[in-house]
Amino acid sequence: MGFIGASFVITQVHTSLMFAPNVVGTANATSAGWGNMGGGANRLGMPLIAAAIVGFGVAETEAWRYSMIFAGLVCFSMGIIYFFFTRDTPEGNFKELKESGKRIPSTKKDKAGFLDAVKDYRVWILFIVYGVCFGIELTVYGTMDSYLENTFNIERITAGNIVLTFALMNLFARTLGGFFGDKSGEKGGLKGRVLFLTFILITEGVILSLFASSANLVIGIMFLIAFSLAVQMAEGATFAVVPFINRKAIGSISGIVGAGGNVGAFLAALLLKYKAVAAEEAAIAANSRLGEEAILAARQAAASSAVGSGYLLIGFIIITAGVVSLAIRFSAEDEKVAAVELQKA
């Protein structure tokens, strides 16, 4: 799993090197969004692969192990394709640039870049920002099946299909965030990119809060679709800002910010789990004299209500993070350099 996470960082660094400033946000967002979409495709495809393996006589309890081998072979194949069919920069590989006497990144600067990234407060704000967009997306994606089933009394398979649609929106939603981040940068400079990020984060938080307060299935699904669009656009907008923080430390910054997503997912899941367990225990205590079916129904209702209140709280946290993102500032020199690069693009 660690290697898979590292591949995300490599992708973001590579797209930052390969694309011009006027489209780098769109490029970063598209590559990352299609990566997330792979999670949705995996959710749909892996059970089919496992079922096919069962058809060859393998026990159901073992079929998932063989299906994981298939996933590993796909990753291995893509690694080979990536190595042989990509270049380090638009001008060629580092080795070719060195042989032709062209400038390549300095190793000393790269080593110093990590310390610069760690010391830069803007990196840690983006760490938090990515935690409340990508991290929350992972948490919502992981808890939404049960929430929809218990709150709106729909079948598990229907809830699963709704959540699958949520994941597949990465096909275009992240790209939109990067695209509008780039467009905001063209009109308002680096400050414009930050302002768009703030706007979409606050929008994400408001919509999640409205979804948590919804008691109607149709309205709830509408809010869920809007939230899916907003949260994935926020992820794209985040990496429309990252490449401009420190060009000498893009890899380190991408790694730190990317880790924020995992931390955010862990903390949000912990919050929802704590609230759900506490609510279930209270429901059991209050209905201990009733039958098992009544206790089970009470537990499910209590857990659903607790998760809903958790979503509401997370929505307010996202809004707060959006306001905090306004603290990301760039110097006049940074704005000037970005403007010159934009004109050359």
d(CA 267, CA 128): 12
CA 115 – CA 133 distance, rounded (Å) = 26
The whole-number pLDDT of residue 108 equals: 47
- CB count within 10 Å of CB 288 equals 9
**In the predicted model, is pLDDT for residue 261 greater than 70?**
yes
Cβ pair 302, 282 in contact under 8 A? yes
Q: What is the pLDDT of residue 337?
A: 86
Please say if the pLDDT value at position 250 is more than 90: no
How many Å apart are CA 52 and CA 333, to the nearest integer?
59
Higher confidence at residue 49 or residue 234?
234
Q: How far apart are CA 64 and CA 47, in angstroms?
A: 8
**pLDDT for the residue 14:** 84
Mean pLDDT of 48-65: 83
**pLDDT greater at residue 278 or residue 147:** 147
- Asked if residue 147 lies in contact with residue 269, where contact means CB atoms within 8 angstroms, the answer is no
pLDDT at residue 93, rounded to an integer: 81
pLDDT band per the 50, 70, 90 thresholds, residue 39: low
84: part of which helix (H) or strand (E)?
A: helix 60-85
Token pair belonging to 328: 């990301």
Mean pLDDT of the residues in the chain: 85
Angle at 318 between CA 313 and CA 324, to 5 degrees: 130
Tokens of 121: 């407060």
DSSP one-letter code for 88:
S
Taking the C-alpha atoms of residue 36 and residue 33, their distance in angstroms, rounded to an integer, is: 5
Type of residue found at 206: V
So what's the pLDDT on residue 28? Answer: 82
Most confident option among 89-98, 101-110, 269-278:
269-278
Residue 104 or residue 86, greater confidence: 86
- Examine the pLDDT at 1 and tell me if it is beyond 70: no
For the chain, the structural domain boundaries read 2-101+119-344
The domain defined by 2-101+119-344 carries CATH number 1.20.1250.20: yes
Q: What percentage of the chain has pLDDT greater than the value 90?
A: 38
Average pLDDT over residues 197-209: 97
